């Protein structure tokens, strides 16, 4: 994909992403359950419902744009992950995908742990009552203040990301008279993308310590020497939105290889390994994600087999899914404002949100689906580009999709699978107000993150 400047001619954007599906679905009124939260249905009046609530009523009550999150689906996905890995493993939800105090309480109730990567996420977790020992603290440049607080409150583990951090955390722990449980994040030379992975000798990236050139082995050597640290294991995270299991398997194999080297050199068997997050979800009908039990089976088998071959006792495995838990559970509801047909090209449909509530399309060329949800329609499909209300032409929510040709201003449309990395990456661009997150469950809808107001904007602007 080219990101170079281009003249803004009429056809400049008229290119389908490679492998993009170009045919409309047979019936645009049918909601593909693969991309929608589990309780989403279309009722007898043709109105879409979630948790038994009609989107038209939800729009009246909470306004648009807004994210609607299916709480029972979220909880069911937590349970599916916990059940898939069983009692001898730990599931850490990656809070960066979407975090709020309600979410923390659901995680706690469903028996999940939590991965945080900033002081703000830590505050949210602790405020909502997540026990500190169930929290893992991540980040490639944690501040001294963040580390001091994490150690003080007693987080279950800090994932060390660099040589500097090994010393920094050890020093802080020691000065508090503590021994901090830590893992070392290694880069295993695997970079995974949606349908493929690349194995490289060195990973050209900011995270972690490379396995290559004995660097990770050296990090282990240093960590084992420091009194302030209790080294409990090795961590690896290979990427995000991954469908191909092979990358996880190579990663698991390489991490076990390091455990073997550590045992041989130090006579120490590190008791845990964390294989990170990254499992992909369906954004469109073309995507075919793996289920948690498939990934659990594959990882457990490979780790078990490799450890047996090396004569190691099997370590406790943990994983950190974010997107795969929250992503599919929410959709963004928008009202159509203007419609601009370009003969022979496409129709631009402008909604009342945009890149401020979903930056993923602009940032990653992400693909999304969209449906008319306030009514059904028998009109012909028209090729649309759903765009926002921001002051730039890259403000695209759904690049290419089909909506019925009788679409009109005032219709409600919804973009599914926006639970992960949409509200958490939302911005105030153009001084827009970040939308609320509304949890819907069993006929009840309640705001869990309220809509920003103009007062919120002015409160930060001290004049
Ligand atoms: N663990 C670690 C150490 C991570 O860095 C991440 C994500 C996860 C777990 C969770 O990965 P997940 O299961 O959600 O794929 N903003 C990007 C995704 C960035 C992922 C960053 N790290 C996006 O919108 O696609």
- What's the gap in Å between 185 CA and the centre of ligand 1? 14
Higher pLDDT, 244 or 318: 318
pLDDT in tens, 144-191: 999 999 999 999 999 999 999 999 999 999 999 999 999 999 999 988
Which residues participate in catalysis according to the annotation?
391
Give the residue from 147, 272, 117, 134 showing the smallest Cα distance to 207.
117
Q: Percentage of the chain surpassing pLDDT 90?
A: 91
Summarize the confidence of residues 278-287 as an average pLDDT: 96
CA distance 187 to 206: 10
**Other CB atoms within 10 A of residue 313 CB:** 10
Domain 138-321 in this protein, CATH class: alpha beta
pTM confidence score: 0.95
Strands 41-42 and 48-50: antiparallel
Return the residue whose CA atom lies nearest to atom 24 of ligand 1: 421
- What's the gap in Å between 106 CA and the centre of ligand 1? 20
Whether 97 is in the pocket of ligand 1, judged by its Cβ within 6 Å, is: yes
Whether 237 is in the pocket of ligand 1, judged by its Cβ within 6 Å, is: yes
Summarize the confidence of residues 9-31 as an average pLDDT: 65
- For CA atoms 76, 78, 79, 85, give the dihedral sign: positive
Token pair of 318 as six digits: 């943990």
CA distance 120 to 393: 32
Summarize the confidence of residues 382-411 as an average pLDDT: 97
CA distance 391 to 9: 17
pLDDT in tens, 231-254: 999 999 999 999 999 999 999 999
Which residue among 91, 92, 251, 320 is best mutated to probe the pocket of ligand 1, counting the most ligand atoms within 8 A of its Cβ?
320
Summarize the confidence of residues 60-88 as an average pLDDT: 98
pLDDT in tens, 91-125: 999 999 999 999 999 999 999 999 999 999 999 99
Return the residue whose CA atom lies nearest to atom 15 of ligand 1: 278
pLDDT in tens, 49-73: 999 999 999 999 999 999 999 999 9
Per domain, the residue ranges of the chain are 41-70+328-460, 138-321
Q: How far is CA 437 from CA 17, 48, 70, 123, 281, in A?
A: 30, 18, 10, 19, 20
| The CATH number of domain 41-70+328-460 is 2.40.37.10 | yes
């Amino acid at each position: 994909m080219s990101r170079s400047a281009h003249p803004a001619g009429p056809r400049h954007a008229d290119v389908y992403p490679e492998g993009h599906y170009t045919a409309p679905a047979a019936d645009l009124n049918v909601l593909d359950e693969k991309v929608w939260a589990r309780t989403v249905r279309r009722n007898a009046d043709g109105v879409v419902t979630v948790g038994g609530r009609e989107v038209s009523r939800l729009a009246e009550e909470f306004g648009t744009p807004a994210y609607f999150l299916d709480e029972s689906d979220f909880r069911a996905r937590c349970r599916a992950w916990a059940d898939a890995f069983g009692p001898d493993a730990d599931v850490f939800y990656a809070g960066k995908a979407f975090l709020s105090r309600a979410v923390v309480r659901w995680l706690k109730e469903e028996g999940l742990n939590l991965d945080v990567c900033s002081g703000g996420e830590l505050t949210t977790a602790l405020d909502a009552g997540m026990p500190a020992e169930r929290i893992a603290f991540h980040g490639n440049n944690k501040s001294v203040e963040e580390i001091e607080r994490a150690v003080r409150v007693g987080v279950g583990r800090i994932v060390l990301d660099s040589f500097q951090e090994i010393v920094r955390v050890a020093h802080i722990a020691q000065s508090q008279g503590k021994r901090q449980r830590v893992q070392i994040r290694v880069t295993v030379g695997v970079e995974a993308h949606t349908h493929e992975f690349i194995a490289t000798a060195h990973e050209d990236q900011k995270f972690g310590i490379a396995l290559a050139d004995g660097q990770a082995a050296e990090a282990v050597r240093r960590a084992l020497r420091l009194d302030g640290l209790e080294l409990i294991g090795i961590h690896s995270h290979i990427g995000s939105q991954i469908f191909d299991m092979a990358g996880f398997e190579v990663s698991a194999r390489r991490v076990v290889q390091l455990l073997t080297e550590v045992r041989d050199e130090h006579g120490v068997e590190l008791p845990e390994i964390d294989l990170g997050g990254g499992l992909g979800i369906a954004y469109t009908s073309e995507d075919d994600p793996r289920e948690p039990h498939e990934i659990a089976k594959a990882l457990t088998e490979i780790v078990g087999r490799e450890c047996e071959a090396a004569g190691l006792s099997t370590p406790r495995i943990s994983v950190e899914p974010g997107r795969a838990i929250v992503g599919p559970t929410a959709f963004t509801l928008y009202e159509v404002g203007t419609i601009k047909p370009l003969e022979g090209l496409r129709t631009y449909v402008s909604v009342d949100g945009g890149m401020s509530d979903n930056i993923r399309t602009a940032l990653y060329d992400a693909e999304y689906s969209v449906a008319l949800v306030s009514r059904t329609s028998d009109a012909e499909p028209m090729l649309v580009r759903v765009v926002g209300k921001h002051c730039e032409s890259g403000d695209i929510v759904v690049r290419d999709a089909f909506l019925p040709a009788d679409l009109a201003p005032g219709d409600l449309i919804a973009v599914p699978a926006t639970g992960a990395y949409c509200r958490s990456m939302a911005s105030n661009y153009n001084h827009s107000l970040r939308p609320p997150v509304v949890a819907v469950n069993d006929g009840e809808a309640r705001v869990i993150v309220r809509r920003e107001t103009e007062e919120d904007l002015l409160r930060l602007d001290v004049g």
